[in-house]
Amino acid sequence: MSEMLKEQPETAGQYSCWLPRHKKSVPTARGLLRDFLDDHNSTEPFGFTGELVLGELVTNAVQHARTPRDRLLYVRLALSADDLRLEVHDAGTQQPVLRHTNADEQCGRGLWLVSELALRWGCSPRPGGVGKAVWAVLGPQTGAAA
């Protein structure tokens, strides 16, 4: 977790931090989610699927946000009794696009995976700031199916 830059104060069921916009932040974010779910005894319904979805959201922000390399990513995790919300904020303004890929393509399936595994997902402007937040909501049934 040495890659994490700034941790925000945690409230019950929430965690957020700033990460570098770098490929090393993908496994860091997954580890933060594992620790967060372990702390809340919620690994079972959300663990594997949550790590996969969060990894795809961070990967997309690292690869596709058209911003200077020194811009940070903001990751927010919110756990309620019924669901887990994952958010990745970046300073880019380009909206994510769900692509339809051919079987022989090596990449481009990240948002498709997110759309298949999440109860819902979307993108919204960052409140009071530059950029966007891409989010996904998982329910216990999404985690159990994975």
Q: How much is the pTM?
A: 0.85
pLDDT tens digit string along 124-134? 998 777 899 99
- Report pLDDT for 21: 92
Residue 143 has pLDDT above 90, yes or no: no
Q: CATH 3.30.565.10: does it fit domain 6-145?
A: yes
Q: How many CB atoms lie within 10 A of CB 127?
A: 7
Residues recorded for the chain: 146
Q: Are 132 and 123 in contact (CB under 8 A)?
A: yes
Label residue 146 by pLDDT band (50, 70, 90).
very low
Inter-axis angle of helices 25-39 and 43-64, to 10 degrees? Answer: 160
Token pair belonging to 22: 């770098």
- Report pLDDT for 51: 96
Token pair belonging to 125: 């402007």
pLDDT tens digit string along 33-56? 999 999 988 878 898 999 999 999
Amino acid identity, position 112: W
- Report pLDDT for 145: 43
Q: What is the C-alpha separation between 106 and 31, in angstroms, rounded? A: 25
- As a whole number of Å, the end-to-end CA separation of the chain is 26
Please give the average per-residue pLDDT across 111-130, as a whole number.
90
- Report pLDDT for 3: 47
